[in-house]
Structure 1
Amino acid sequence: MHVILHNVMVSAFVSCGRIDEAKHLFEQMKERNTASWNAILVGYAKGGLKVESFNLFREMHEADVEFDALTMATIINLCASLLALEHGEKIHGLVIKKGHVNSSVVLETALVDMYAKCGAIEKARIVFDMVNDKNIVSWNAMITGYSKHGYSKEALILYEKMQREGIYPNEVTFLSVLAAYSHTGLIEEGLRISISMLEDYEVEAKAEHDSCMVDLLGHAGLLEDAKEVIEKMPIEPQVSTWGALLGACRVHNDVDMERFVANRLFELDPQNPGHYVLMSNIYTAAGRWKEVEDIRQMMKIKGVRKDPGISWIEINNELQIFHAVSKMHPQTEEIYCTLRHLTLRIKGLGYIPDTTFILQNVEDITKEEEEESLLQHSERLAISLGLISLPEKSTIRVFKNLQTCSDCHTATKLISKITDRHIIVWDTNRFHHFENGECSCGDYW
């Protein structure tokens, strides 16, 4: 059977989600070309088979298969999804070596997206500026990157530049622009752009845009206005929309509104542990221990378990993964010793450990033990390893599966100051850039 027909069949299996059959046919092929390899590579990537995708790419390299822009873009997108910066940089080097620079706007945009998602926003901008024929996807990748990193001013400047160059924004653009206005507290501008979406660009607001508007108003403390936006929505508000309001309630300590919003979330998404944990933290901060216990009992009855905190950092092309309270790393002793030393130093700058969220039902726990437990947070362990293992003055990039806590946020700001390091932490909400004792989020996250 001709290789072209084989390739069509492999692609057909992939498009139908029949990955095993696509793989079997691919392995039976006596003749393969770049399109053959790309078909199965794309299938693996779409099917979430990330390890298999990387292994296949390695096989292509070892078999001297000629890479094209699709091959490169697919594997770069995988690096972005895995937050694997060092791997992504190597692939970028291969792109240059193979002469694919400026060969495909899809490939170049994938590089911009990868660098932004992996915490290297400056490199993303360098690549973006080198793209000759930028399309809306290219602009969106860079604007979204800036917005996610908290560089709202840069995002809005780029948005204006995009329009001057004749590129019309779409729904993705407006999501990032609204988020940027929220982060900068520019309420009137954000409200104006939300109206302009439909009137000037004929882009209808979706649930995600409504969530941004709720976040914009909530950020400014206009919680009742944010609630009104939700109540006037023509469709049933999504979990993310109520979640945005709950996050704003946490920041502004409105316990009554928090209870109302939390109850809506418990109805809409009863198995999501994040809502229960956030509500428990809110009650804890208010010293309302009965309500804290009620939340715990509710989770127990519904069988909801809190997701364990996990953080990771890339060291020498390998992901080093830390769980909260983890002591399995071969450098554990050095990691904890470094953290204790750093804690003493930042206390000299006024740091007071926030033990508010230490479980109150733990009996006979001393102040020292409470403070020691804070050192066991997964992002703190990863940052410590970065300080130990990475070259002096190099940027430390840590990724976390949960929202960072207020104590870790405060401590990391001060650690960045005393170590003269740029520390980047990605949590479920955004990137935090810690430099010289400050954070790019402006202490709102």
Structure 2
Amino acid sequence: MVVRDIVSWNSIIAAYEQNNDPIPAHGFFNKMLRFGVQPDSLTLVRLASIVAQLNDRQSSRSVHGFIMRRGWLMEDIVIGNAVVDMYAKLDVLGYARAVFEGLPIKDVISWNTLITGYAQNGHASEAIQVYQMMEENTDIIPNQWTWVSILPAYSHVGALQEGMKIHGQVIKECLHLDVFVGTCLVDMYGKCGRLDDAISFFYQMPRRTSVPWNAIIYCHGIHGYGDEALKLFREMLDEGVKPDHITFVSLLSACSHSGLVSEGQWCFHMMQEECRIKPHSKHYGCMVDLFGRAGQLKMAYDFIINMPIRPDSSVWGALLGACQIHGNIELGAYASDQLFELDSENVGYYALMSNMYANVGKWKRAEKVRSLARDRGLKTTPGWSTIEVNNKVEVFYTRNLTNPKCDEIYHELRILTGKMKTLGYDPDYSFVLQDVEDDDDEKEHILSSHSEGLAKVKNSDQCSVCV
């Protein structure tokens, strides 16, 4: 007997989806259709989430089309938010934004979803822009998930002052002890270099789960305080908090950034033998990075060859990065060949290999790699830096000519470069990765046009344009 009660079918699909079992959930949906049971809007809300979990971009268009044909997008804000969330998780942010803007009514969940989508996919500036639009809408009252959405974006661009404003609002709403909001604040202070503030706030909040511990360990790791990260890990164990797979990614990364090879090997062993956590590709990538940064490239390569799972792009990418640091062109070329097969759309790998060739003056090989990227329709993203000036985040790109005070910034940059030379500054032309032969003036211009240099000039106390 076929059960045609849509509520029962939805309940079973929801159970699979909530347990992160998207494949059986999707199979059960198809079974429902074969039995002639028509889905309702709640079914499609679940299906949108399942498609996102499966990273199935092709099916996302079918889900969207089905919803449009039923007219549900204009009638039900829940399903509208689900479609925005689906596209955001699939990193199809153009569609997510278009659906968001087309919603006749937007609630706080709609805004939070789009902000999170931008932030989690590395588009911090866009996330901040949407949040600022939300602030202008007096009908929308931010909630704890708004802060959880926007704080990582401020962390990414180093907007400490803006993050501190959020901290003030969080305190007013008595949400500073919420574990999710609190963890985002720890992350924000830590990534912005305020480790004392991060650790102080960390000890004020609940620490019964691994989530805040992972954040504070990671922040110490990225700033090169590997020993302190290990000390925090031992303290975590003493407090009876069970580490998870993210804990060990943070720990291994900390050991890698601090050159603690033996300690990293101990963590990797402990994760498997004592904590019974099976390594994921990220853990293997961290181990390759650990060996590679320390100059143990053969050990890194042997580790990859002996992995029990097939190395993915994160693993080969770690090896390629290590080869660039230590100038091993031959092994780097081998790693890049693996990457071009595994992840041919990632332009960063092409840029890295091209730069390696350029760094040793092999311009023809560098151009060959760049041509390969162009032939595949790939474009590199210009290097960029951000700096917070007068409570506003300024973004600068390499050779930036778009700032309204561009002429004054470059003029000040030339003055500062001249002053540095009188104090003994000697430009290191090895960082010029373009074939400009013996033109030292052009090389110096390339170096001085780095995005970070432009950002620092913008913030210089001596800079007349910033007074």
- The alignment's TM-score, normalised by the length of structure 1, stands at 0.74
State the aligned residue count.
369
Question: Once the 2 structures are TM-superposed, how far is the Cα of residue 149 of structure 1 from its aligned partner?
Answer: 2.5
Relative to structure 1, the CA distance from residue 80 to residue 69 in structure 2 (aligned partners, 3 Å threshold; closer, same or farther) is same
- Counterpart residue number, 1:153: 227
The root-mean-square deviation of aligned C-alpha atoms, in Å, is 3.0
Please state how far the C-alpha of 1:119 moved relative to its aligned partner. Answer: 4.3
Give 1:171's aligned residue: 245
CA apart distance, 1:385: 0.9
Report deviation, 1:194.
Answer: 0.6
Structure 1 stretches lacking a partner, 5+ long: 1-8, 28-36, 391-445
Question: 1:40: which partner in 2?
Answer: 110
Is the contact between residue 14 and residue 22 of structure 1 (CA under 8 Å) also seen in structure 2?
no
Deviations 1:39-87 (A, max 9, x none): 334333344483444433443xx4595x654454344345445653322
Gaps of 5+ in 2: 1-75, 86-95, 119-125
What TM-score does the superposition give when structure 2 sets the normalisation length?
0.70
Match of 2:160 in 1: 85
1:161 Cα deviation (Å)?
A: 1.3
2:444 maps to 1:371: yes
Local SS of the residue matching 2:459: helix
Is residue 136–residue 167 contact of structure 1 (8 Å, CA) maintained in 2? yes
Q: Indicate if the aligned counterparts of 1:38 and 1:70 stay in contact, CA closer than 8 A.
A: no
Which residue identity is paired with 1:95? Answer: V
Alignment correspondent of 1:14 = 81
Of 249-258 and 210-219, the range deviating more from structure 2: 249-258
SS of the residue corresponding to residue 233 of structure 1 reads: coil
Alpha-carbon distance change, 308 to 70 in structure 1, aligned in 2, over 3 angstroms? closer
Contact 1:79 / 1:87 at 8 angstroms: preserved in 2?
A: yes
Q: Corresponding residue for 2:369?
A: 295
SS for the counterpart of 2:429 is coil
Match of residue 412 from structure 2: 338
Amino acid in the other structure paired with 2:161: E
Deviation for aligned residue 1:143: 0.9
Match of 2:401 among 315, 327, 341: 327
Matches within 5 A, 1:89-104: 89-102=164-177, 104=178
* More helix, by proportion: 2
Seen in structure 2, the aligned counterparts of structure 1 residues 153 and 123 have a Cα distance that, compared at 3 Å, is: same
Question: What code does the residue aligned with 2:196 have?
Answer: E
Give the CA deviation at 1:287: 2.5
Partner of 1:239: 313
Contact 1:11/1:22, CA 8 A, preserved across alignment: no
Matches within 5 A, 1:40-439: 40-48=110-118, 50=127, 51-59=129-137, 62=138, 65=141, 68-80=143-155, 83-102=158-177, 104-347=178-421, 350-358=424-432, 361-362=435-436, 366-388=439-461
Is 2:373–2:379's contact at 8 Å kept on the other side of the alignment? yes
Write the distance in 2 (CA, Å) between the matches of 1:248 and 1:285: 15
Aligned-partner Cα distance in 2 for 1:291–1:71: 48
* Partner SS for 1:259: helix
Contact between 2:323 and 2:329, CA under 8 Å: does it hold in 1?
yes
Describe the shift of the 1:308–1:69 C-alpha distance in structure 2 as closer, same or farther (beyond 3 A).
closer
CA separation of 1:241/1:383 partners in 2, compared to 1, >3 Å: closer, same or farther? same
8 A contact 1:309–1:378 mirrored in 2:
yes
The answer as to whether partners of 1:10 and 1:22 remain within 8 angstroms in 2 is no
Identity %: 36
